[in-house]
């Protein structure tokens, strides 16, 4: 039995479909950021919840491990999930992130958190627009960004024990540069991974969720590194 072929589209129709796909990606990313922010603010305002999350090391470790598990599940098995399951995992992950992020309200002033968020949004927006519109192939920077990310993780882990202020600031600015670059690279990658002709299908929805997760992680990490620079401690 022959399958129905993907209908031929004009360049304008294909472009419009890609734009609709990216709007879905940014929509889910924005929704997840809102969930994270609301959960973080609510948790920070509740001494009971704050104590539950940060008063017990085991609880904190369990939350972090569950988060890693959720990201791994989406990255490795999303093809075997339904779109609704993938969406639920993504939203639950953003909520758990909110529990962890509530700790920044105990360290930084609310004003500096808000101003850093807007700085992050502006920087992210500019780089994402660049990644979407540029004709340059950003995959040539993939290995550099990946190696930089590995180096950043290793240096950050080492500094947990070394407690060097020099390494702290090197990793801070290194983190900003890496996630600025990843924002442009990931945007282009997500745009290119959209399959023309499958709009509205389960695969299309799952692609949008994976794209949203990728950009959500870029935004969150960029925000955290910029907060080191612009955040005012209490």
pLDDT in tens, 133-169: 999 999 999 999 999 999 999 999 999 999 999 999 9
Angle between helix axes 11-44 and 165-193 (nearest 10 degrees) is: 140
Q: Quick check: 92 pLDDT over 80?
A: yes
- Judge whether 188 lies within some domain: yes
- Judge whether 5 lies within some domain: no
What mean pLDDT is reported for the chain? Answer: 92
Whole-number pLDDT of residue 145: 96
Tell me if 231 sits within 8 A of 113, measured CB to CB: yes
Q: Quick check: 37 pLDDT over 70?
A: yes
C-alpha–C-alpha distance, residues 124 and 142, integer Å? 18
- Judge whether 4 lies within some domain: no
The domain total for the chain is 1
- Judge whether 2 lies within some domain: no
- Judge whether 126 lies within some domain: yes
- Judge whether 214 lies within some domain: yes
Q: Quick check: 1 pLDDT over 80?
A: no
Domain membership of residue 184 as a residue range: 11-230
C-alpha–C-alpha distance, residues 72 and 62, integer Å? 15
Confidence of residue 218 (pLDDT cuts 50, 70, 90): very high
Confidence of residue 11 (pLDDT cuts 50, 70, 90): confident
Q: Quick check: 123 pLDDT over 60?
A: yes
Whole-number pLDDT of residue 7: 54
pTM, full prediction:
0.92
Handedness of CA 96, 115, 138, 156 (dihedral sign): negative
Closest CA to 216 of 103, 96, 115: 96
Top pLDDT among 204 and 2 is at: 204
Confidence of residue 33 (pLDDT cuts 50, 70, 90): very high
Percent of the chain with pLDDT over 70: 96
- Judge whether 83 lies within some domain: yes
Least confident stretch, 1-5, 53-57, 97-101, 228-232: 1-5
Confidence of residue 200 (pLDDT cuts 50, 70, 90): confident
Q: Quick check: 2 pLDDT over 60?
A: no
C-alpha–C-alpha distance, residues 179 and 154, integer Å? 16
- Judge whether 111 lies within some domain: yes
Burial code (b: 16+ CB inside 10 Å, e: under 16) for 89-119 equals bbbebbebbbbbbbbbbeebeeebbebbbeb
Whole-number pLDDT of residue 4: 46
Among left, alpha and beta (phi > 0; psi -120 to 50; other), residue 212 is alpha
């Amino acid at each position: 039995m022959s399958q129905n072929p993907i209908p031929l589209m004009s360049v304008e129709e294909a472009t419009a479909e890609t734009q609709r796909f990216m709007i879905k990606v940014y929509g889910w990313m924005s929704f997840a950021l809102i969930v994270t922010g609301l959960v973080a603010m609510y948790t920070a305002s509740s001494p009971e919840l704050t104590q539950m999350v940060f008063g017990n090391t085991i609880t904190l470790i369990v939350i972090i491990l569950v988060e890693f598990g959720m990201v791994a599940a989406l990255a490795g098995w999303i093809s075997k999930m339904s779109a609704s399951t993938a969406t639920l995992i993504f939203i639950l992950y953003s909520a758990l992130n909110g529990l962890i992020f509530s700790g920044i309200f105990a360290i930084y002033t609310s004003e500096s958190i808000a101003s850093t968020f807007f700085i992050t949004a502006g920087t992210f927006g500019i780089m994402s627009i660049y990644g979407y519109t540029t004709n340059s192939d950003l995959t040539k920077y993939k290995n550099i960004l990946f190696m930089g990310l590995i180096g950043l993780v290793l240096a950050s882990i080492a500094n947990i024990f070394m407690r060097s202020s020099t390494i702290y600031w090197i990793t801070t600015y290194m983190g900003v540069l890496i996630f600025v670059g990843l924002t442009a690279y990931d945007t282009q990658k997500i745009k290119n991974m959209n399959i023309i002709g499958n709009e509205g299908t389960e695969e299309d929805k799952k692609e949008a969720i994976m794209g949203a997760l990728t950009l959500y992680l870029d935004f969150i990490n960029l925000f955290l590194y910029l907060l080191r620079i612009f955040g005012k401690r209490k």
